[in-house]
Structure 1
Amino acid sequence: MIKLTIPGRPISKSNFKLHNVHGQAWMPSKGKHSKYLAYENMIAGFINQQYFGDIIEEDLITILKLYFPNKRMGDLHNYPKSICDGIEKSGIIKNDKQLKPVLLFDFIDKDNPRVEIELYPISEYDVSYVVSKK
């Protein structure tokens, strides 16, 4: 199991996409909308400070724990893309398609917003879930 921590408030990819006159989406590399690319690079940098193993080639059960400073978190489903892109950019995996399944949890921690990433190799771990009535 690999556990990684990325400090700071999670950033959603959807907030930074721009569209041209033909409706095609793109991510700017400069200006106020380039914050997303900086976040991806920050994730990659923190991962490279914490993981020193070989490139992982197998699928990984991925658990993302998002800690926000307050209840203003927007659409929770938009966050995994930026995080998974940052994991791929770090070079510890070849493609973010390896990150499956992805389990997503959100919490409030006003003093320490962060993302905690847990990666479990599919050859060593299994995942199951139970939904039960209260």
Structure 2
Amino acid sequence: MIKISVPGKPISKSNFKLKNVHGQVWMPRQGKHSKYIAYENKIAGFINQQYDGPPLKGNIITIINLYFPDKRMGDLHNYPKSICDGIEKSGIIKNDKQLKPVLLFDYIDKENPRIEIELYEASKYKVNYSVDPIK
């Protein structure tokens, strides 16, 4: 199991996509919309600081805990893409297609916004999931 913590407010990839006159979507590398590329590099850097083992092989069970400074978090489904791209960029995995299943949880932490990533090799761990009624 590998647990990585990346400080700062989580950033969604969809917030930084632009469209050209033909409707094609692209990610700018410069200017105010280039924050996504910097965020992806930040995630990769923290992974490389906190993990120095060999690259992970096969499917990777991925748990992403998002800690926001307040309730203004936007569409939660847009956050895993930026995080998974950062994980791939770190070199810890070959392709972000390996990251499955991905479990996503959100919390509020005004004092310490961050993301926490847990990675488990599916060949060594299994996922048990249940939804139980509140009593």
TM-score (normalised: structure 2)? 0.97
Structure 2 portions without partners, runs of 5+: none
Identity of aligned residues (%): 75
- Counterpart mapping for 1:7-86 below 5 A: 7-86=7-86
TM-superposition CA deviations, 1:10-50 (whole Å, max 9, x none): 00000000011111100000000000000000000011000
Q: Which residue of 2 aligns with 1:106?
A: 106
How many aligned residue pairs are there? 134
**Alpha-carbon distance in structure 2 between the residues aligned to 1:57 and 1:124:** 11
3-state SS of 2:66 partner: strand
**Alpha-carbon distance in structure 2 between the residues aligned to 1:59 and 1:2:** 14
TM-superposition CA deviations, 1:57-102 (whole Å, max 9, x none): 2111000000000000000110000000000000110000000000
Q: Which residue of 2 aligns with 1:96?
A: 96
RMSD: 0.6
- CA positional deviation for 1:133: 2.3
3-state SS of 1:106 partner: strand
TM-score (normalised: structure 1)? 0.98
Amino acid at match of 1:65: N
3-state SS of 1:38 partner: helix
Q: Which stretches of structure 1, 4 residues or longer, exceed 4 Å deviation after superposition?
A: none
